[in-house]
Structure 1
Amino acid sequence: MTPRQRRDRIVELVRQHERMSVDALAEQLAASRETIRRDLAELDGRGWLRKVHGGASLPEPGSQGRVAEGPFSERLRENGPAKRAIARRAAALFRPGDSLFVDTGTTTLCFAEELALARGLTVITNSTPIAALAARGEGSTVFLIGGRYRESGGENLGPIAIEQLQRFHALHAVLTIGAIGRDGVSDFDEAEAEIARMMIRQARSVTVLADGSKFAGAGIFSVAPLAEIDRLVTDAPPPAAMADRLIADGVEVLLAGAAT
């Protein structure tokens, strides 16, 4: 096993267990404790994991993306475990050769951290941190959409971004949203809603990532009716009335933590 393979395996093990001790990693990888400690220090410096006393744990959600401080980074710290679970469940849906639009959001940033471990994907995104993470995937190709740059979320927006999106077609659109209700999915930002609508238009299948808190809200700007959504990946069962509407509109609901 090469040093790179060993470090990749360390990242996989920490993601699987959320926390691993130096002793456990050394035993599983047939390496010395000193070697594991050096690996953990390097991986911590790169943002792949967090080195803690006696081992390693997952970094804060989205921290690998290095987004600027502000409301977006504050949202990254909300419902972190749920977003991680959703991201992990969603990443298992895609296979080498798939093409994905991925929009900007705290949950899709966690999803991009999982894509960094994937292989052979084509990712089209308007998010600079998501592009950087997805590009780490072995054999993956990434296209970064241009446009007016918004530092807080590390994203490109506006007419240029919309025009460039029209040049692409993808098998899937993977989107985060502000709220989900009986009338569909919505957002609180007009420019981000425009990006999501164009990605839906240019994709064959739409997967929405939303933690349970999104069922309680109502966005200002409509993104799509439920009938345009193929899959919803969430961490909690939708309320009964909402679940009935999702079934009626043909939306497959996948719960994070369930068998893939």
Structure 2
Amino acid sequence: MLKTERQQSILAMCDRYGTITVKFIQEVLAVSDMTIRRDLEELAQKKQLLRVHGGAQKMTSEEQLISSIEGTKAANELSHNEKKKLHTKEKEYIAKHAAAYITKEDDTIFLGSGTTIELMTQYIEHDSLRIVTNSLPVFNLLSETKRFELYLIGGLYREKTGAFVGSIANEAVQKIGIKKAFVGVNGLKGTEVSNFSIEEGTLQKIVLDNAAEKCLVSDANKFDHSDFYNFYDLRKIDALFTDSTLSAELKSYYQQYTKIIQ
């Protein structure tokens, strides 16, 4: 049997049974243990299945989507639409808890760019708030409710994230007193908080420095990872909102730097 035929057979077995063992593949294809293991490693590297102890497992549709999108993440920033498709349940969970942290009427709140923060707009309960944002999607979502005093920070528009950045935006946020700021991240590594864009990171740093309470939102897969630009020190953050999938080990490690809210 040719290698391509053998690997197609392995993928077909994965699709049918979900999880298969090396021993089972051996019995079906009558090839050596070493050959099967090489095939499984190669298919796993191609993101066509998941390698598990003693065999392999079919990838879910979401895992396939994440693999295909994040495969180029190191070199390219994901688009706004691509990010919206990733870790949706986790982001929904974070958004609810972060929005519940807004407890006082008449506060000035800053909401940054990012798909998790966009979801927060659905769960803000208080009406008497002044909300400042540099995110066009966040502004559009909030303007539809007609509930808040809204301020959209202008500047250079970044289509990738729907955010306004640059010197005009930086100057504007420097003059605003913020009670609570919510900022999204692309990576958390030790005390370093990072994202892809220097321009967005610069504005986020200014906002966090000016805020009485500094909050980050991040799904668990961003922990112990770093992106291109380190824009803040985690030890200065008051609260970090994440989802319930964060491991106890990582939570314990990062709690030495800030308060983790799940």
- Give the structure-1-normalised TM-score: 0.65
Residues 1:132 and 2:140 aligned together: yes
Cα contact 2:190–2:224 (8 A) shared by 1: no
Residues 1:107 and 2:121 aligned together: no
Cα distance in 2, alignment partners of residues 82 and 238 from structure 1: 10
In the alignment, structure 1 segments of 5+ residues that lack a partner are 1-69, 256-260
Cα contact 1:188–1:221 (8 A) shared by 2: yes
Q: Which residue of 1 aligns with 2:209?
A: 201
Residues 1:97 and 2:89 aligned together: no
Deviations 1:112-171 (A, max 9, x none): 2333x5411211111112112223456421110010112332221111100111110111
Cα distance in 2, alignment partners of residues 242 and 229 from structure 1: 17
Cα distance in 2, alignment partners of residues 78 and 213 from structure 1: 10
Q: Which residue of 2 aligns with 1:24?
A: none
Specify whether residues 241 and 223 from structure 1 end up closer, same or farther in structure 2 by C-alpha distance, changes over 3 A only: farther
CA apart distance, 1:216: 4.1
- Cα RMSD (Å) of the superposition? 1.9
In the alignment, structure 2 segments of 5+ residues that lack a partner are 1-77
Cα contact 2:187–2:193 (8 A) shared by 1: yes
- Percent identity over the alignment? 26
Secondary structure in structure 2 of the residue aligned to 1:180: strand
Q: Which residue of 2 aligns with 1:173?
A: 181
Secondary structure in structure 1 of the residue aligned to 2:127: coil
CA apart distance, 1:246: 3.0
Cα distance in 2, alignment partners of residues 123 and 166 from structure 1: 15
- Residue identity matched to 1:157: V
Deviations 1:158-191 (A, max 9, x none): 1110011111011111010001121221111111
Residues 1:236 and 2:247 aligned together: no
User: Which one of the candidate residues 233, 242, 256 is aligned to 1:248?
Assistant: 256
Cα distance in 2, alignment partners of residues 172 and 113 from structure 1: 18
Q: Which residue of 1 aligns with 2:131?
A: 123
Cα distance in 1, alignment partners of residues 165 and 95 from structure 2: 23
Cα distance in 2, alignment partners of residues 87 and 240 from structure 1: 21
- Residue identity matched to 2:116: T
Cα contact 1:210–1:232 (8 A) shared by 2: yes
Secondary structure in structure 2 of the residue aligned to 1:248: coil
Cα distance in 2, alignment partners of residues 85 and 241 from structure 1: 20
Cα distance in 2, alignment partners of residues 241 and 184 from structure 1: 18
Cα contact 1:126–1:144 (8 A) shared by 2: yes
- Give the structure-2-normalised TM-score: 0.65
Specify whether residues 182 and 216 from structure 1 end up closer, same or farther in structure 2 by C-alpha distance, changes over 3 A only: closer
Cα contact 1:178–1:187 (8 A) shared by 2: yes
CA apart distance, 1:204: 0.8
Deviation >6 Å, runs of 4+: none
